[in-house]
Amino acid sequence: MQKSKLIFTVLALFSLGIVGSALLTNQPSVHASEGDKKADGKKSLHDNMEEMGSYFKKVRKGVADPAKNKATLEALAVVQAHSIDAKDERPHIVSHAGPGQRKDLVKAYRKSMIEMNIELLKLELLILDGKNEEAVAKTKEIGKLIKKGHNKFQDDH
Ligand code: HEM
C-alpha cells in the first residue's frame, strides 16, 4: 500500500512537471526576429510572404477562367490566411530605422497590409459572383499594391 502511494506521488509530480514546462514554453512570443520560427507556432514574415508569393501566382494564372474558380478560390484563401498573419509582423526594415521612427513604420506597414487584405477579400467576392473580368482587373490592382508595399517596406537585409 505504502509502495503504491509512493509510485502514485512520483507519477503525479512527473506529470505536473510535464504540464508546467509545456505551459511555460507555450507563452505567446513578443515578435521574434524575421526568419525565426516563432514560439507561438506561427510563421515568420519571410515565410508568410514566400507562401503568399507561390499561391498568388496560382490566383494570377487562374483568375480569368470561370472553370478554374474553385481552384482559384482555394489558392486565394491560402494567400489571405498568410496575409492576415503577415499583417501583425514587423518588417526587417524597422530594425534599420531610428528608435523614434519605428512605431510609425510598423503602423504604416500594418495599414498597408490591411488595405491589401481588404482588396483580397473584394477579389474573393468577384470570383464568387463569377465576375471574372472584374476579378482580373482587381488582381492587377493588387499587383500594384504589392509593388508599392515592397518598394516601401522591403529591404535587402
Ligand atoms: C499578395 C500580396 C503579396 C505577395 C504575394 C507578396 C510576396 C512576397 C515575397 C515572395 C517576398 C519575398 C520573401 C523573401 O524572400 O523575403 C516578400 C517579402 C516581403 N513583402 Fe510581400 N507580398 C505581398 C504583399 C506585401 C505587402 C502589401 C507588403 C507591405 C505592405 C509586403 C511587404 C513585404 C516585406 C516587408 C517583405 C520582406 C520580408 C522579410 O523581411 O523577409 N508584401 N513578399
CB 116 within 8 A of CB 138: no
| Ligand 1 atom 21: residue of nearest CA | 49
User: Based on the structure, what is the number of domains in the chain?
Assistant: 1
Q: Separation of 2 CA from ligand 1 center, angstroms?
A: 63
Q: pTM higher than 0.75, yes or no? A: yes
Q: List ligand 1's pocket residues with C-beta within 6 A.
A: 34, 45-46, 49-50, 52-53, 56, 79, 83, 91-92, 109, 112-113, 116, 145-146, 149-150, 153-154
For residue 85, what is its C-alpha cell?
Answer: 498573419
| 98 lies in some domain | yes
**Lookup result for grid cell 515578435:** 31
CB 114 within 8 A of CB 87: yes
Range of the domain at 100: 40-153
- pLDDT 10s digits, 44-102: 999 999 999 999 999 999 999 999 999 999 999 999 999 999 999 999 999 999 999 99
| 11 lies in some domain | no
CB 61 within 8 A of CB 17: no
Please report the atom of ligand 1 found closest to the CA of residue 52: 5
